[in-house]
Each structure stands twice: as structure tokens, then as C-alpha cells.
């Protein structure tokens, strides 16, 4: 298979993307982070409206690059970041549904494993297992930083689904997951990110904010939702520059 010298989906110039990347799913959240957390941020990618920004956080060059929704989209952007732009670390910052009663809305989750029924990894590289793993060293920095910031964060397993959880009876799916896994939340991208990072021997982690729960009918106001995401963003930024 021929792989060209230029990325197909990220129209950034070589050198414009930092080795340290935060990946929200939403392109407009990438813009929000650049506008509110980075200094001297510039738009470096905008093809298909998948926005990327590079600036400085506490004097360190950082890129915020959207991933879109779902594993195929995450797979494309993570692959191009690692392959074409020599990115070293990616932290996914996203939202999830809580599936354990102890995880309240809008608390944070740090993923230690991502379980999925998807064939993403098998298609990518004949990997037949249903679990992919984040970087243990990057996760350790995130836990250390959460303690320094006095942020509560749940640390445990998540599941990555091909279907948006609230649109299905996902208890049916959860009941198929091996009982030895302690699933805290469900989302749609981390399994792919961890697998792509492992392929390139790079570091990746995933921090999630629980925005809904099967055990609660709590609905966040716009301000509450933004404030909770700000904690996740701050934690990710402070961690990735260590």
C-alpha cells in the first residue's frame, strides 16, 4: 500500500503541530480551549472543519486537535498526528455516560483500559483482543496532577462503543462485558486512540467527564457543563506538559 508524503485529512504545515496534543471530539471545543487556555494560539488545521490550534500553555507549545466522533474518525486523526507530525503524546478529553453508581455527574474518569466489541484493531493490525491500554507513565502524571489540583477523579476501566449509548439499550451490551472488568463509563473513541498509539510506540491517555448517568436524571446547565469541562481541560494541560 502506498502512503503519500503528505497527510490527507490534516492540512497543517510541518512543524506547526506540537509534540504534545489534546484531542477533544468537538472542533468547536478545540477552538474554545485555544481561545481560553492557550497564549498566542493560531489555527493550524481546518480541513473538513476539523479544527486544530497550536499555542503555548505555561510556556510550553501544545496543540489542540479535534478528533471527530467514533473510532474511525479518531483512528484517522491520531494516525496522521503520529505518522506525519511526530506527535509524542495525546490526551483525549471527552464526555461519557457513567455506568457505575459511584461516578456522579459531572465527575472525571481516567481510563486504565478500554474494552470494545469493535473490529477496529483487528482490521487495523490483526489484533484480536478486546482491550487496549493507555500509557501507564502518562496516566501516573495525570493522577499526580489531579492530586495537586485537588480534583476528584475516578480511575478505572471504560468501554468504547460503535453506537451512541443513549440511543440503545446499552445494558444489553454491558452485560456481555467480562465481569472482571470494572466499567465506569462508556464513550466512542479511546479504544482506537490507545491502539494507534501502541502501534507507533507513543503515549496516549483518556480523561472523561461524565455528563449523564444511567443512575441519575441530573441534567447539567450550560454553565455547569462548561465548568466541569474546564476542570478536565486544566487537568489535561497541566499533565501533558510535565
Catalytic residue among 5, 126, 169, 212: 212
Are 109 and 185 in contact, with CB atoms under 8 Å apart?
Answer: yes
Q: Which of 20, 22, 34, 18 is nearest to 65 (CA)?
A: 22
Cα 86 to its chain centre, rounded Å, is: 18
Q: d(Cα 104, Cα 85) in Å, to the nearest integer? A: 37
Q: d(Cα 175, Cα 158) in Å, to the nearest integer? A: 14
Are 191 and 96 in contact, with CB atoms under 8 Å apart?
Answer: no
Q: What residues have CB less than 8 Å from 159, skipping those under 6 apart?
A: 99, 114, 115, 116, 173, 174, 177, 183, 185, 186, 187
- For residue 84, report the phi and psi dihedrals to the nearest 5 degrees: -90, -30
**Cα dist. 126→78, 117, 129 in Å?**
18, 14, 9
Q: Is 126 a catalytic residue?
A: no
- Give the catalytic positions in this structure: 212
Amino acid at each position: 500500500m502506498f502512503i503519500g508524503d503528505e497527510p490527507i485529512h490534516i492540512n497543517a504545515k510541518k512543524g506547526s503541530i506540537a509534540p504534545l496534543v489534546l484531542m477533544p471530539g468537538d472542533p468547536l471545543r478545540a477552538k474554545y480551549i485555544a481561545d481560553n487556555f492557550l497564549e498566542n494560539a493560531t489555527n493550524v488545521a481546518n480541513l473538513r472543519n476539523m479544527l486544530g490550534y497550536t499555542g503555548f500553555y505555561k510556556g510550553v507549545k501544545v496543540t489542540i486537535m479535534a478528533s471527530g466522533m467514533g473510532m474511525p474518525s479518531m483512528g484517522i486523526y491520531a494516525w496522521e498526528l503520529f505518522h506525519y507530525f511526530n506527535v509524542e503524546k495525546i490526551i483525549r478529553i471527552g464526555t461519557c455516560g457513567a455506568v457505575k453508581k459511584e461516578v456522579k455527574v459531572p465527575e472525571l474518569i481516567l481510563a486504565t483500559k478500554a474494552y470494545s466489541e469493535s473490529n477496529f484493531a483487528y482490521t487495523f493490525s490483526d489484533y484480536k483482543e478486546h482491550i487496549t491500554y493507555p500509557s501507564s507513565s502518562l496516566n501516573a502524571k495525570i493522577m499526580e496532577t489531579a492530586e495537586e489540583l485537588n480534583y476528584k477523579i475516578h480511575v478505572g476501566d471504560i468501554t468504547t462503543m460503535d453506537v451512541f449509548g443513549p440511543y440503545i439499550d446499552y445494558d444489553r451490551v454491558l452485560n456481555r462485558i467480562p465481569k472482571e472488568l470494572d466499567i465506569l463509563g462508556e464513550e466512542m473513541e479511546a479504544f482506537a486512540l490507545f491502539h494507534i498509539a501502541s502501534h507507533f510506540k507513543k503515549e496516549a491517555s483518556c480523561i472523561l467527564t461524565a455528563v449523564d448517568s444511567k443512575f441519575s436524571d441530573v441534567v447539567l446547565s450550560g454553565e455547569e457543563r462548561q465548568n466541569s469541562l474546564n476542570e478536565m481541560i486544566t487537568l489535561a494541560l497541566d499533565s501533558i506538559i510535565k
